[in-house]
Amino acid sequence: MRLWQELEKLKSDGPYPFHMPGHKRNFAGAFEDENPGKTDMTVTASEIDITEIDGFDNLHNPEGVLLEESRRAAKLFGSRDTFLLVNGSTCGNLAAIAAAVPIGGRVLMQKDSHKSVYNGVRLRAADVVYITSDISNKNISNKDISEEIEAALESAAESASEPAVQKSPSPKSAGGFDLVILTSPDYIGETLDIAGICRICHKHGVPVLVDAAHGAHFRFSDNFPRDAVSAGADLVVNSLHKTLPSLTSTALLHVNGDLVDINQVKYYTQVFQTSSPSYVLMSSISRCLQFLEEESGEFESYVNRLEDFYKATGDLKNLKVRQFANAKDSETPAVQWDASNGGAGGEDEKKLCDRRKTDMGKIVIYPPEGLTGLDLARILRRDYKIEPEMAVPEYMLCMTSVCDSSKAFLMLSDVLHDIDRRLDGDGESQESGDNKDAVSLLAGLAGTTAKVDLVPYPPGIPLVLRGELITEEKAKAMEKILLAGGRIEGIG
């Protein structure tokens, strides 16, 4: 078995990708039924795979065409400065943290941050204070953590003003922290009140980094939540490849304001990126930016396709699709969807998400009692040749983008209705995963200290951190994931 051969087979006869990257392996064809004249923006990689030859600039010291691309990106996304990234949002998070946090500095961050954020603060030997966050994945709800952040900043500021504290090395900010790190949107599209939190943090002179890897598309339609750049964040990381037509590992790091030294950001993007950046990937960024400049109207068509899908799947009986309010204006009553009530078998099936707070491009599907999200994913994969983005015991996630056509959404709707009808009959039995060996490794771990991070992947959020106690609750949660067929990095 060779990778390139497997990819060739995938290209010719693979499942439909309701997962990232956002180009959906068929950038031009995605628009055929909406806009037949759309031109292809793909080329053979080897034809443009070059090094820093004359006339093609240098990513780490841009003066020509790459500087122009960075300025185009900054204009499109509304930032003061933007850095092109070919090592993904991981690189952006690492560089942003290193630029803002001195060795031994203090950081206030969400517990449910991506593993790259944890790696970033560890590399700075930072003193980390966690914002309380539920990472159980049991319920989906917009988090209001503004008051908790303000209380932490107030407390840190009071402590920093004490004479005994002033004698020791202390953060540069009056708020007692060097950086606040947030994730918005999260993997399933939930967002925070970034504007409100930024006002609180800036009042204390503390910069804010937002890992907005999943929110690169927000700026291009009022039907999506507000983007973190316009909301006032000092550092924002966007993955182009997750929700826009760009190749995997392409991303952007945006910088605003003067709370973080731009020269430090520039330096650390060089530290954490390869010294041989791929021109294939940078070309993909360029083409993505061109699409955003010239074809921004496609996003309203994309929203229309999403609305049609949600309307079509509102009548499912056994499966439940997270639903959204029909209008984006403030007069539309909308309460947050709660998996514990609005999911399959829930008491209240009329709860709707507010598209100003939740990304409607993330399709979340709940299985009925007796099935898991991983079971549902296996059914889609085995019987319908559809590959979802992620599945956990409680739900399954299908990621969409502007490149998903009407045909694709209709196909998914038809498939879900077919499965729904099958569940009216004999139903589908819950399947055990093939992780029995991994499950056996969990025996006796409860009550011990984790030697490595234990990370369900996707979404890449550590459930147990290295050095933390593995509680009975966490051990049972990991067993549930593994028995359902999920994977946990650090086990097995």
Does 240 lie in the same domain as 322? Answer: no
pTM of the model: 0.89
Give domain status of residue 26, yes or no. Answer: no
Residue 1: per-residue pLDDT: 83
Does 248 lie in the same domain as 328? Answer: no
pLDDT in tens, 410-434: 999 999 999 999 998 765 655 655 6
Does 171 lie in the same domain as 82? Answer: yes
Task: Choose the final residue of a domain: 294, 325, 344.
Answer: 294
Does 302 lie in the same domain as 290? Answer: no
Give domain status of residue 28, yes or no. Answer: no
Does 329 lie in the same domain as 288? Answer: no
Give domain status of residue 341, yes or no. Answer: yes
Residue 424: per-residue pLDDT: 86
Residue 331: per-residue pLDDT: 47
Residue 143: per-residue pLDDT: 62
Task: Choose the final residue of a domain: 256, 271, 294.
Answer: 294
User: Which residues of the chain register pLDDT less than 50?
Assistant: 29, 36-37, 39, 135-142, 165-170, 329-337, 339-349
Residue 144: per-residue pLDDT: 79
For residue 383, the domain's CATH number is 3.90.1150.10
Domain count within the chain: 3
For residue 166, the domain's CATH number is 3.40.640.10
Q: What is the 3-state secondary structure (H, E, C) of the chain?
A: CCHHHHHHHHHHHCCEEECCCCCCCCCCHHHCCCCCCCCCCCCCHHHCCCCCCCCCCCCCCCCCHHHHHHHHHHHHHCCCEEEEECCHHHHHHHHHHHHHCCCCCEEEEECCCCHHHHHHHHHCCCEEEEECCCCCCCCCCCCCCHHHHHHHHHHHHHHHCCHHHHCCCCCCCCCCCCEEEEECCCCCCECCCHHHHHHHHHHCCCCEEEECHHHCCHHHCCCCCCCCCCCCCCEEEEEHHHHCCCCCCCEEEEECCCCCCHHHHHHHHHHHCCCCCCHHHHHHHHHHHHHHHHCCCHHHHHHHHHHHHHHHCCCCCCCEECCECCCCCCCCCCCCCCHHHHCCCCCCCCCCECCCCECCCEEEEECCCCCCHHHHHHHHHHHHCEEECEECCCCEEEECCCCCCHHHHHHHHHHHHHHHHHHHCCCCCCCCCCCHHHHHHHCCCCCCECCCCEEECCCCCCCECCCCECCHHHHHHHHHHHHCCCCEECCC
Could you tell me the residue range of the domain that residue 81 belongs to? 47-294
